[in-house]
Structure 1
Amino acid sequence: MRALAALSRFVGNTFAYWVLLYAVLAFLFPSWFIGLRILIVPLLGLVMFGMGLTLKLDDFSEVMHHPWRVALGVIAHFVIMPGMAWLLCQLFHLPPEIALGVILVGCCPSGTSSSVMTWLAKGDLALSVAISALTTLLAPLLTPALIWLLAAAWLPVSFLEMFWSILQLVILPIVLGVIAQRLLRERVQFVVDVLPLVSVISIVMIVCAVVAVSQAKIAESGLLIMAVVILHNSFGYLLGYYTGKLFKLPLAQRKSLSLEIGMQNSGLGAALASAHFSPLAAVPSALFSVWHNISGALLSTYFRKMEPEVMVAEDKPVVR
């Protein structure tokens, strides 16, 4: 059991490498992975169920202690990422299905690995978890509403169908996970210990399925989509960090905002695109999943080395 838990920690810490490795394999040998497409929705549900197993009431204590910081993170997330997605689609004159896919991933809640990156970056973990949880719980309303508002110019979007999809894909599994945790308590601890392994395998399989199904389209326009994905993710980090700076948040909170805003639940984006649009619309989410785990690991390493500013007020040092 300890060996399995240790393996789970190792795989969780090397998440980015596994996603990148298998994305390349799926591109080179799509026939190996194309059958996984039927598992996209169940796999995302499994990841969300695992998230529910780890959620506790204490995770929302930050909302009570510093509600304005959490509100700032949630509002900034649902303004910056959808807004940047729409702007990039306009600047690059993206084809309709790709544009919809970029906007779709931009309208998703915070990424499932953003809290891990925040912890590695020595950010404010409580703030990160609260923002992740609230953006996820608000996703059934805000994600389809924003997609309808921003993407309807490219392709028809059904708010109601996406609302029900997100309830089934996200909220229902999370609620079941929370109930299981409350009923079984310590008996689920072993499951929690191996959750990083389960989550990594699930996300890797989702990415492989999307890449395999869309291999020809990626070969044709993959560089353009990748450039947009990198810009989208980078501006999310940058604007998230400077939003915290604008509101004079301490360094740890600025790190949290940067990572929470820049990292998206790209698994949800891929599942929604596959269910409601086309495999091509899922490609930006798949590439985002590959890229943001690499960039998040690099940024958290950089953030970890940053020293908090020390401001002198009268005769007492104040750490920010």
Structure 2
Amino acid sequence: MSSISRIWRYGGEAGNVRVGSVFFGRLKTWGFVIGILLILIGGVGWLGSLDLLTRPCIAVGIVLVAVCSSAVSKLRGHQFTLWIIAAVIVPLLYPSGFQRLCGIELRSPWLMLPVTQLVMFGMGTQMSLRDFAGVVRAPWGILIGVISQFTIMPLVGYCLAKASNLPGEIAAGIILIGSCSSGLASNVMNYIARANLGLSVTLTAVTTLLAPTVTPFWMKVLASHLVKIDFLSMMSDIIKIVIVPIGAAMVHDWLKNVERPMRAKVAAYSLACLIWPAICINNVARGKLFAVTGFGEVLEITTFLAAVPAVGWLFHALWRRWNRIQQFMPILSMGGIIYYTAVTTAAGRNELLSVGGVLLVVAMAHNLAGYLLGYWFSRLMGLNKIDARTVSIEVGMQNGGMATGIATMMGKLSTLGLPAIVFSPWMNFSASLLANYWRKKSEKA
């Protein structure tokens, strides 16, 4: 089974495990029906201003629908989207439950960063070093895709941010998600659409590598009047959020194809690399190292990069003992996405309730512009229909996890990170519709 089909299996139909049991099938069906009934009861309670009835019924109902939606065949491909919708609605109803747990601030950068890194690492384990070879095989398609990704989406985001008249930091969040790289889920959607999967994976890989410089550049040019942008700090954040975990995943992929003596050398090198992070963590805990040197950003990045081979080697060692661990990584990634979606929604609840409708319209316009302009620009530049569809999906889908991570590191999760929470479920929903449409069109051809 290919890596992309594994993502589809666990991402599009996560939870649809074939247990071969009529009992569990009926249990899911009844759970789905009860969920719908509870949502309806909650709706009636809302109309009657019965808050005591409304909130628990809708919260429990939407969770049941998300968990049991695999009982309805037409919803199986949208189950992850339903989970994301649940992760937005439940925190809107009970925001305090997603702000602190046992005295721990759930939106703390020290918690959100590793969660976001886990998401990126999980998706990175479904990629391989071979994906980057596509640059040599199809340079023109890659060039068109990269230009489309990093010009269409930032500029459209800027125009929509200006037209929407939203508060400054929320408007900057629209530009931020437009300036990010392709979403990793775009590979899944291109797989469903029967587009050029090789081109899709390579485009995602290349735009991800370019993000540490291109994303801060566009934010500095387009959004610096809305929010303070520190180019080097944002570059550092993107390296930590995206490059470090995906780099560790690539170390694991490389180790699959080397002999045992080389793996032993990598193990020794990894242990040596851990000495530097250990020294830094010890001194930071005592408030010494960064304050004394004055090179905090450089030391921080060096520390994270030093951990890359160690994390890659450790995961590879686990994989060699239990290779099914790689199959569960997309599930962990989805869990991480649900976590930061819920926490961000709770943090920005008041803002979301006041501007959520406008953000949804902006998300739809931004997404649709990406699909249309990505497709027709590719056709204009000479790409065939299949490759143009690939670029269209790549351009239309943005990396919401990166946007959320950057907003968290900047301490502006409840404003700058808010658009990503609205954009992400819509992008997944619209892309799945478009991918299935193109799939059916390909089958008829």
TM-score normalised by structure 1 residue count: 0.90
Cα–Cα, structure 1 residues 222 and 240, in superposed 2: closer, same or farther, change >3 Å? same
- The runs of 5 or more residues in structure 1 that have no matched partner are 311-320
Equivalent residue in structure 2 for 1:31, among 87, 91, 96: 96
Distance (whole Å) between structure 2 residues aligned to residue 231 and residue 222 of structure 1: 14
User: Aligned to 1:11, which of 10, 14, 30?
Assistant: 14
Question: Does the C-alpha gap of structure 1 residues 73 and 97 become closer, same or farther in structure 2, counting only changes over 3 Å?
Answer: same
Instruction: Give SS of 1:109's match.
Output: coil
Q: Of the candidates 336, 339, 342, which is equivalent to residue 205 of structure 1?
A: 339
1:225, 1:6 → 2: CA distance?
A: 28
Q: Look up the match of 1:56.
A: 128
Aligned partner letter, 2:188: V
Match 2:137 to one of 42, 61, 65:
65
User: Quick check: which has more Rg, 1 or 2?
Assistant: 2
On the 8 A contact 1:11/1:200 being kept in 2, the answer is no
Q: CA deviation at 1:116?
A: 0.2
Quick one: distance in 2 between partners of 1:201 and 1:71? Answer: 33
Contact 1:8 1:196 in 2 (8 A): yes
Query: What RMSD over aligned residues (CA atoms) do the two structures have, in Å?
Result: 2.2
List per-residue Cα deviations over 1:106-137 (Å, max 9, x = no partner). Answer: 10100020000010011110000000000001
How far apart, CA to CA, are the structure 2 residues paired with 1:300 and 1:244? Answer: 17
C-alpha distance 43-86 of structure 1, shift in aligned 2 (>3 A): same
Aligned-partner Cα distance in 2 for 1:115–1:54: 10
| Mean CA deviation greater in 91-100 or 111-120 | 91-100
Q: Quick one: percent identity of the two aligned structures?
A: 35
- Decide which moves more: 149-158 or 125-134: 149-158
Q: Which residue of 2 aligns with 1:162?
A: 234
Equivalents in 2 of 1:255, 1:34: separation in Å? 40
Pairs within 5 Å for 1:129-168: 129-168=201-240
1:291 corresponds to 2:402: no
Unpaired segments of 5 or more residues in structure 2? 1-6, 16-76, 101-105, 256-315
Given the alignment of the two structures, is residue 88 of structure 1 paired with residue 88 of structure 2, yes or no?
no
Structure 1 position 170, deviation (Å): 0.9
Secondary structure of 1:78's match? helix
Change (3 A) 1:6 1:47: closer
1:233 CA displacement: 1.0
Q: Which residue number in structure 2 is paired with residue 267 of structure 1?
A: 401
Q: Please tell me the residue identity of whatever aligns with 1:37.
A: R
* Higher RCO structure, 1 or 2 (CA under 8 Å, sep 6+): 1
Deviation of 1:180 after TM superposition, in Å, equals 2.5
Code of the residue aligned with 2:438 in structure 1: it is F
Equivalent position SS for 1:253 = helix
Contact kept? 2:153, 2:179, Cα under 8 Å:
yes
One-letter amino acid of the structure 2 residue matched with residue 196 of structure 1: P
User: What does residue range 199-238 of structure 1 map to in structure 2 within 5 Å?
Assistant: 199-238=333-372
Equivalences for 1:182-197 in 2 at 5 Å?
A: 182-183=254-255, 184=316, 187=320, 189-197=323-331
Distance 1:67 1:136 in 2: 17
Q: How much does 1:275 deviate?
A: 1.8
Q: Which amino acid aligns with 2:205?
A: A
